[in-house]
């Protein structure tokens, strides 16, 4: 079969952390926990305002912002990077070859091939594509390493297979 495009990905804790953040934002369990925390903070702030404890309400609002903007993302990224440090992928280069109906990933651990119809989803961000085989397992394609035509090709595959 004719090779359409080639690229590579150098796996690192930073890339893995980025992927994990994108996946966690889509995870309904994480979203549910965030909604519950937001509701608790809102109820506490309302109680403080009702009792005219304006300073306490302000402090609670600042704490809520800190939790959602800094603490939750930091913790999710830290856990992901810790897990990645235990894996054998650190610093490993994966070579990706894209064909019309499937792609292959080759690295020192082995070789795998997936047909595009086997993919669950293709997630596109500003910096990467994530070719998802399951909800939490996928292949990272770094856009900076891709030819412009490969980026168009992956977008076309995403549309064609409704991923």
Over residues 102-126, the pLDDT tens digits come to 999 999 889 999 999 999 999 999 9
105 and 82 in a common domain: no
Q: What is the mean pLDDT of the segment spanning 27-33?
A: 81
pTM (two decimals):
0.75
User: Quick one: pLDDT at residue 66?
Assistant: 82
More confident residue, 10 or 91: 10
49 and 38 in a common domain: yes
User: Quick one: pLDDT at residue 86?
Assistant: 67
100 and 61 in a common domain: no
User: Quick one: pLDDT at residue 42?
Assistant: 83
User: Quick one: pLDDT at residue 22?
Assistant: 86
74 and 109 in a common domain: no
**Residue 59 pLDDT more than 70?**
yes
Percent of the chain with pLDDT over 90: 39
How far apart CA 27 and CA 30 sit, in angstroms, is 6
Q: Which of 37, 67, 86 is where one domain is finished? A: 86
Question: Residue 12: enclosing H or E segment and its boundaries?
Answer: none
* pLDDT band per the 50, 70, 90 thresholds, residue 95: very high
73 and 118 in a common domain: no
105 and 72 in a common domain: no
48 and 93 in a common domain: no
Q: Which of 86, 114, 141 is where one domain is finished? A: 86
The residue segments making up the domain with residue 153 are 5-12+89-160
* Total of domains in the chain: 2
- How buried is 39 (Cβ within 10 angstroms: 0-12 exposed, 13-18 middle, 19+ buried)? exposed
CA angle 93, 98, 101 (to 5 degrees): 145
**Residue 62 pLDDT more than 90?**
no
User: Quick one: pLDDT at residue 19?
Assistant: 86
148 and 102 in a common domain: yes
118 and 71 in a common domain: no
Percent of the chain with pLDDT over 70: 97
More confident residue, 95 or 74: 95
User: Quick one: pLDDT at residue 68?
Assistant: 79
Q: Which of 86, 101, 127 is where one domain is finished? A: 86
């Amino acid at each position: 079969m004719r090779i359409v495009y080639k690229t590579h990905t150098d796996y690192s804790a930073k890339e893995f952390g980025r992927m994990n953040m994108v996946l966690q934002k889509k995870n309904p369990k994480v979203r549910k926990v965030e909604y519950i925390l937001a509701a608790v903070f809102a109820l506490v702030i309302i109680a403080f305002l009702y009792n005219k404890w304006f300073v306490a309400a302000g402090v609670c609002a600042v704490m809520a912002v800190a939790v959602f903007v800094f603490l939750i993302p930091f913790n999710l990224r830290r856990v992901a990077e810790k897990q990645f440090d235990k894996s054998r992928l650190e610093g490993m280069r994966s070579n990706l070859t894209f064909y019309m109906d499937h792609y292959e990933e080759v690295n020192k651990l082995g070789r795998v091939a997936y047909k595009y119809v086997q993919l669950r989803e293709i997630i596109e961000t500003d910096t990467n594509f994530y070719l998802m085989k399951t909800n939490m397992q996928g292949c990272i394609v770094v856009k900076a390493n891709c030819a412009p035509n490969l980026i168009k090709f992956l977008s076309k595959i995403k549309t064609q297979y409704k991923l």
